Structure formats: structure tokens, C-alpha cells
Amino acid sequence: MHPGRQLAVLGLLFVILGALVFFGAGAKGGWQQRLEPKLGLDLVGGTQATYVASLQSNGQPPPQASMEEARKIIDQRVNALGVAEAEVVVEGNRNIVVSVAGEADDQLKNVGQAAQMRFRKVLKATGDNAAVAANPPSVAPSGAAPSASAGAAPQITGSAAPSASTGGQGGGERAPSPSAPAPSAPAPAPSASAAAPAPVSADIKTQRAAIEKKVGAKAWAAAEKLTDPVDLSTDPTAGVQFKAFGTLTGQEVNALSPEMQFNVPTIGCENQLDKRPNGAIDVIDSKVVACQSGAKMYLDVAKVIGTDIDTATPQLDQQQGQWVVSLDFTSTGQAKWTALTREAFQPAANDTCVAAAQALSTGATHCLVAVVLDKTVISAPEIQGVLTGQSQITGQFDAASAKELADQIKYGALPVTFEPAATQSVSATLGKQQLEAGLLAAGIGLGLVALYSFFYYRLLGTVILLSLVLSAVLTFGALVFLGRSTGFTLTLAGIAGFIVSLGVAADSFVLYFERLKDEIREGRSPRSAVPRAWARARRTIISANTITIMAAVVLYIVSIGAVKGFAFALGLATILDLVVVFLFRHPIMTMFANTKAFMSPRVSGLGRALKRAPTDVKEA
């Protein structure tokens, strides 16, 4: 063999890892800061956020089963990569408490959102006239409403139906050719509540009675008679009689019918419709009102929902050079999505959706489909083709925001609506003192292993010590890199996993060196015994390490929290030990076998094996 080649490959790995640690993504500050691993909550403390679940319509707290399901989803969102080791617990009958190591205010601010995704056709649209109606004498008539497809607003694109001009593929801005009609897909049957107003609960009736008293019976009666939005562009004073509606809170506006929310000009977006509770417009078979960039939209029932999406993935679009969220639909979801885009692309003669699109985007010829997440319209693109395949949400995303949206969609909707209650810093549960004590114990243990190795194996003890040092450097570099790139946090459980891996590494040394002694006792010279001992010990070393890795993988899959971190650390350290075994230990032993010191019983550590070998050969 050529040991120099393996050692060169190992050196290249160290160079690459060093470059990632010091100059990779997320590396900043001085060299000491670049070498700091991400520590867990039990070592450095962190941030704790509390989310309070909304009461049910009967005034009772949510069922415990729903709270536990919500806890699991929030845990998946926070630990999206599985190794962040955040603590997510249910406290009482309404609270969920999330604790994350370090400063994580931005990371925690959206984990409690419902993340209910709905795809709704835009039936009507108008600008935000609340300011005009509130102060008509001094405000000019409102101009064109903001375009839903301009600026930084996200868009939906995807694979269009086959056409002669596109060769079977097209974006959201290309219509299929009339000569190649889109394949038929059954449109979902409209629900009964889509044709008739949904029944109003007693609680809503009580709230509406209180609102009627607040705004006045005359204003309430006038609002009930509205069938279309009041046009303030021709008469700014037409909204004066509805001025009292502008004083309503988001909670009060939420009790009004969608038609009243849309038609009353003094009900605005920023301070009212956008302030409604989370989950305010999640009902699938009801028409709703939502806003985008100050434009009010009257939206149809949801024809496609979040559960129709199979998976959501953040991707970097190589052609556009921007981050997108790619959506793959289920088989039934794809049929619904195709039917919805066909309905928007080929609307019925009496459909008002084209006029709504023209109100929001000059020159629009087809309908808009609003992509609604919770109560926010994140995209309202004009459908210019029948989309039959994978679709994408595009916009001004970066890697973090694209991943955040994809995780919210992928990990599902919370069964309970939450409101953030408080965010505070928490101190370490064990602290740096315990970390220092644990590292000291690990150092003492490593030192004892080194002393025993030199006492029992002598020159071979140098191989053991160098191998452990190289494994430690590789492991530390991997910790720093994984902490930045995947969010891996080092906890005391992880440190325990690394310490246990020392035993696995020591076993491989014993297997190899004792096999080497056996070969020498059988009469072979040390130089010829090294490759033969390696060939025989290699299978056992690989088998033993493979079993450890398999155990770590199984433990990682079935466990949660700190135990998952222990399993990850154990598996990572074992894999890196195998790298050192193949790229350092065997090559360096081959080089030692060619030295005079290796032939000396006193220096090599082979001792009795070298002394007995000539006798054994003579007797044989």
C-alpha cells in the first residue's frame, strides 16, 4: 500500500473542515468566536416563550389531546432539523412553553401561528378606503389599488397544461394552446354553505348586538343594506355615515359578516382586518375577507387547503437566483388545484373575479387565486394557465424565510389557535460550572487512557494518542460547523455521547494490536504481520462500529430531546473514528513497521510476542 496517499486524503479533510469552520457560512467575529460551538439550554441558558391557547366557542379550554398534538407540531417546527434540542412542554390546560438555547426571539416569534393554508379565488377587490371615509373633506379620492402581482409580493408559478408552443412545460404566465386542451379534472362540489350564509351562533349574535349599539342603529341598518363596496372615488362623503365602524377593534370586526367587512368603507386593513384573531378566516366552506398591501379582497370558499399539499421545500431557483418554496400536491390535491386554476383561467360569464383582478392589476384578463396563510394573503397571482404539476411560491425570500414558510406548511396546522403571552430570558439549568466539570472528567479519563496505552503498548501508544487527538479535532470542527449550518446544539447529553464513543475507539485499538501480536506469535515478521493483522481485524472493527452506529440511529429516531442529542453525538463520533482508523491508524502503522524501533520488544510495545516468535517458529 501507499500510506502517504491515505494521510494526504486525511490532511485534505482537515483543510476543508478548517475552511468551513473559519470561512464558511455564518462564520463571523474573531478566530475565538469562529471556534465556539453552539451550546444547549442546559449549559448557557436561553429564551423562553409562552403561548396561550384560545378558548373554545363554549368558553372551555381546548381538549388535552389537541394541546398535545399542538405541542408535537411546535416541537417539530422548532427542531426542524432534529438536533436543536429545544424544550416544548404543556403547562396547565392552556399554555405551551418553548425554551431554546441562546437568543432566539426571532426563531420563536412565529412557531405558535396556526399555519392554516387556504387557496381561494378572489371574487371582489377594492382599495383600503378607511382613511378616505374617516376624514372625507381633506382626503382626495383613492386611486388605483396596489397591484397584487407587483413589487415584493410573492407569486405562484408551476407546470402548465401541455401546449404546442411550450413543449409540455410552461410557467404561470403562459396559457395553454387551444389546440391542446388541458386534461379534465373534476371540480370539487360546492358546499351548501357556499350558496347560503352560514348559521350564526348565539355568541356571535350577542357580539353583533353590542356592535350595533356601539355604531348606532342607523349606521348598522345602512351597512346591512350594502351589496357592494361604497365607491368613494366619486363621492368621498359617502362614507361619513359609516364613520363609527372605524372605531371597532379587530375582535369586534371579526364578529361581522364577511359582506359587511368588505362593503363598509370605514373598515380598514391595517388596524382592523389584520388585527383579527389567528384562525379568524380558517373556515373552509365560508367566504371571507382578507387584505394584501392595503387592498381588501372578498374571497371564495377554499377549494384547495393545506392538507392537499404533500410537501413544501425551500429551494434556490438557479435560473432566477432567488429562494422559492416548492409545493408538491397529493394526488387528490393536485386534481383540486388543477380544477381551481382552470376555474380561474376560464371563469363563467357571470363570475366577478375578472373585474376583481382588473381592480388590483391593470391589464388583467384572468382571475386571481389568493394564497392565504392564517389571516394573511401571502400571494394573489393572476392565473394565466392551467397548472397540472409542481408549483412554487416565489417572492423576496431569503434562505431563512423560505425555510420558515416551508416548515410551517410542511409540519401542518395547529389544532388550536395560540396568542403569544411572554418572552423572557432563562438561566442555564446546569450552567458552565457543570460543563467545565464534565470536560475536566473527560480530560482525566482521556489522560488515563493515554497513560495506560503508553505503559502497555509503548510506541503503539503514540498511535493511540495521535488517533484520539485527530478524532477530537475532527469532532470539534464538525460540532462548530453543524451548529452554524443545521442548528445542532451541544448539551451535557451530547458530551456524554462523545465520551462513550472513546470506548468504541479504544475497542478498535485493542482488536488491531492484539491481532497484530497473534500474527507475530505465528512466526511472521512485524513488517508482514501489519497488513495481515489489518486485513483480519478490519472486518471486526467495521462490524463493531456499524452496530454502534445502527444503535445510535435507532435511538435517534425513537427518542426525543436530550436522548436524541446523545444518540446524534455517539453516531457522529463513531463515524469520525472510522475515518481516522482508515486514513491514519493503518497507514501510520505501515510506516512504523519499516522502522528499527518497531522491531525492538522494549520500544514497540509488542514485547513478549516478538521474544516468543523465533522459538515458536523453531518448534514448528
The residue that leads in pLDDT, 563 or 582, is 582
Residue 152: the pLDDT is 40
Counted residue by residue, the chain has a size of 620
Phi and psi of 53, rounded to 5°?
A: -75, 140
Topology annotation, domain 117-177+210-413: Gyrase A; domain 2 (3.30.1360)
The residue that leads in pLDDT, 466 or 145, is 466
CA angle 89, 93, 99 (to 5 degrees): 20
Angle in degrees, 0-180, between the axes of helices 202-215 and 217-225, rounded to the nearest 10: 120
Residue 151: the pLDDT is 37
Out of 42-56, 422-436, 468-482, 585-599, give the one with best mean pLDDT. 468-482
> Residue 513's pLDDT band (boundaries 50, 70, 90)?
confident
Cell matching residue 272: 382592523
How far is the C-alpha of 581 from the C-alpha of 130, rounded, in Å?
Answer: 72
Distance of CA 209 to the CA centre of its chain: 44
Residue 207 pLDDT exceeds 60: yes
Topology annotation, domain 46-112+421-426: Alpha-Beta Plaits (3.30.70)
Topology annotation, domain 3-37+430-619: Multidrug efflux transporter AcrB transmembrane fold (1.20.1640)
Residue 620 pLDDT exceeds 50: no
**What value does the mean pLDDT of the chain take?**
77
Closest C-alpha among 391, 393, 395 to residue 159: 391
Q: On the CB side of 41, how many CA atoms lie within 13 Å of its CA?
A: 20
CA angle 79, 84, 86 (to 5 degrees): 75
Listed in sequence order, the DSSP H helices in 36-151 are 41-44, 64-78, 105-108, 130-134
Reading across the β-sheet that carries 117-127, which strands appear in turn?
Answer: 288-292, 295-305, 117-127, 369-373, 376-379
How far is the C-alpha of 504 from the C-alpha of 579, rounded, in Å?
Answer: 13
Residue 412: the pLDDT is 66
The residue that leads in pLDDT, 83 or 507, is 507
Q: What is the pLDDT of residues 543-572, one digit of tens each?
A: 989 999 999 999 988 876 678 888 998 999
Three-state SS at 418: strand
How far is the C-alpha of 150 from the C-alpha of 121, rounded, in Å?
Answer: 18
Q: Which DSSP state fits 155?
A: E
**Position 10: which residue type?**
L
Where do you find CATH 1.20.1640.10 in the chain?
3-37+430-619
Cell matching residue 404: 420558515
SS (H, E, C) 282-316: CCCCCCEEEEECCEEEEEEEEEEEHHHEEEEEEEE
Lowest mean pLDDT of 296-310, 345-359, 389-403, 463-477, name the range: 389-403
Q: What is the pLDDT of residues 416-459, one digit of tens each?
A: 778 777 777 767 665 667 777 777 877 887 788 788 888 877 77
Give pairs for 181-187: CB < 8 Å, separation 24+. Answer: 182/338, 182/342, 182/386, 182/388, 183/338, 183/388, 185/335, 185/336, 185/338, 185/339, 185/342, 186/335, 186/339, 187/303, 187/339, 187/340, 187/342, 187/343
> Residue 378's pLDDT band (boundaries 50, 70, 90)?
confident
Where do you find CATH 3.30.1360.200 in the chain?
117-177+210-413
Q: What is the pLDDT of residues 101-130, one digit of tens each?
A: 766 655 676 677 666 788 999 999 886 555
- Assess contact for 516 and 606: CB atoms under 8 A: yes
The residue that leads in pLDDT, 55 or 200, is 55
**pLDDT (average), residues 231-237:** 76
Phi and psi of 541, rounded to 5°?
A: -60, -45
> Residue 607's pLDDT band (boundaries 50, 70, 90)?
low
Lowest mean pLDDT of 209-218, 384-393, 455-464, 602-611, name the range: 602-611
Q: Where are the beta strands (DSSP E) in 14-108?
A: 46-53, 87-91, 95-101
Residue 619 pLDDT exceeds 50: no
**Position 275: which residue type?**
K
Give pairs for 243-246: CB < 8 Å, separation 24+. Answer: 243/133, 243/134, 243/219, 244/214, 244/215, 244/216, 244/219, 245/215, 245/219, 246/130, 246/133, 246/134, 246/272
Residue 157: the pLDDT is 61
Residue 214: the pLDDT is 92
Residue 227 pLDDT exceeds 70: yes
Q: What is the pLDDT of residues 333-349, one digit of tens each?
A: 999 999 999 999 888 88
**Position 482: which residue type?**
L
> Residue 216's pLDDT band (boundaries 50, 70, 90)?
very high
- Assess contact for 278 and 418: CB atoms under 8 A: yes
> 212 burial class (0-12, 13-18, 19+ CB within 10 angstroms)?
middle
The residue that leads in pLDDT, 123 or 38, is 123
Residue 217: the pLDDT is 92
Residue 197 pLDDT exceeds 80: no
Residue 611: the pLDDT is 58
What whole-number percentage of the chain has pLDDT above 90? 15
> Residue 297's pLDDT band (boundaries 50, 70, 90)?
very high
Q: What is the pLDDT of residues 302-321, one digit of tens each?
A: 999 888 888 888 888 877 78
Out of 200-204, 581-585, 589-593, give the one with best mean pLDDT. 581-585
How far is the C-alpha of 450 from the C-alpha of 466, rounded, in Å?
Answer: 10
Neighbours of 433 (CB within 10 A): 10
Task: Write the CA distances from 578 to 465, 508, 593, integer angstroms.
Answer: 15, 9, 21
Where do you find CATH 3.30.70.3400 in the chain?
46-112+421-426
How far is the C-alpha of 417 from the C-alpha of 106, rounded, in Å?
Answer: 20
Phi and psi of 250, rounded to 5°?
A: -60, -35
Residue 171: the pLDDT is 32
**Position 460: which residue type?**
L
Report how far apart the first and last C-alpha atoms of the chain are (Å, whole number). Answer: 30
Reading across the β-sheet that carries 95-101, which strands appear in turn?
Answer: 87-91, 95-101, 46-53, 418-426
How far is the C-alpha of 127 from the C-alpha of 294, rounded, in Å?
Answer: 6
- Assess contact for 341 and 386: CB atoms under 8 A: yes
Residue 503: the pLDDT is 77
Residue 193: the pLDDT is 35
